[in-house]
Amino acid sequence: MNLVFLGPPGAGKGTQAHRIEKAHGLVQLSTGDMLRAHVANETELGNLAKVPMERGILVPDDLISAIIAERLDQPDCANGFVLDGFPRTTQQANALGVMLEKRGLSMDAVIELTVDDAALAKRVTGRFQCANCQVAYHDEFNRPKVEGVCDSCGGTEFNRRSDDTAETVMARLEQYHKQTAPLLDYYGERGLLHRIDAMQDIDDVTADLENVINSV
């Protein structure tokens, strides 16, 4: 099964993708995580992506499509994947369509996590992640079960994203509405779009996701 998660920053795409990855053996493909690794390793791509990421704007389509194309050829993608953060523009969606067709693959569902804009700043500025496995937590809504220990891998180091600030979230939200929201119609017209109310509790969002997955 191949899925795409769409939704503004802070909608919970990463959190839910991680849960679905564990429950269904699908691999989570987060372009944000991939880019942050490139930035940390100071690769050529990382150096190109650093400034746009810090400003909350998108990195060029061809760069990001190239990393996804390469990633899809790795053997762990054969069992299916959840795309988290890609595609984000119509050009990326077209590129994804071509990539999948070339590989004899197709998309089973595109799932939009809907959240009120007013809730997003609080969600984004309170979040942190495990430095080892990147599982996401939140100061208020989703703390580790044992304080200071990652529920998923037992890691004890956490970090906060430098772009999770109140100012940058506004830029990221604007990019979402301008560049990514058109994909809702794009996939709606293709009969692939499902919507889930992501204002609910994390577990209720997961339950709704499971229903969608079972229905496709």
At closest approach, how far in Å is the CB of 103 from ligand AMP?
Answer: 19
Strands 81-84 and 27-30: parallel
Whether the bond between 87 and the residue before it is cis, its omega within 30 degrees of 0, is yes
Rounded Cα–Cα distance for residues 118 and 65 (Å): 31
- Residues annotated as catalytic (active site), given as ranges: 13, 88, 127, 161, 172
From 73, 80, 202, select the one nearest 137 (Cα to Cα): 202
| Residue 85 near ligand AMP by CB under 6 A | yes
Choose which of 19, 88, 123, 127 interacts with ligand AMP (CB under 6 A): 88
| Residue 213 near ligand AMP by CB under 6 A | no
| Residue 64 near ligand AMP by CB under 6 A | yes
Choose which of 11, 26, 59, 72 interacts with ligand AMP (CB under 6 A): 59
Query: Cα–Cα distances in Å, from 115 out to 78, 100, 130, 139?
Result: 31, 29, 24, 19
| Residue 124 near ligand AMP by CB under 6 A | no
Write down the number of H helices and E strands in the chain.
9, 8
| Residue 46 near ligand AMP by CB under 6 A | no
Q: Are the C-beta atoms of 56 and 163 separated by less than 8 Å?
A: yes
| Residue 9 near ligand AMP by CB under 6 A | yes
| Residue 32 near ligand AMP by CB under 6 A | yes
Residue with smaller CB distance to ligand AMP, 28 or 31: 31
Residue with smaller CB distance to ligand AMP, 65 or 206: 65
Residue with smaller CB distance to ligand AMP, 149 or 170: 170
From 73, 94, 75, 169, select the one nearest 126 (Cα to Cα): 169
Instruction: Give me the torsion for CA of 74, 4, 67, 176, rounded to 10°.
Output: -170
Note the residues at the interface with ligand AMP (CB under 6 A).
9, 31-32, 35, 52-53, 56-59, 64, 85-86, 88, 92, 172
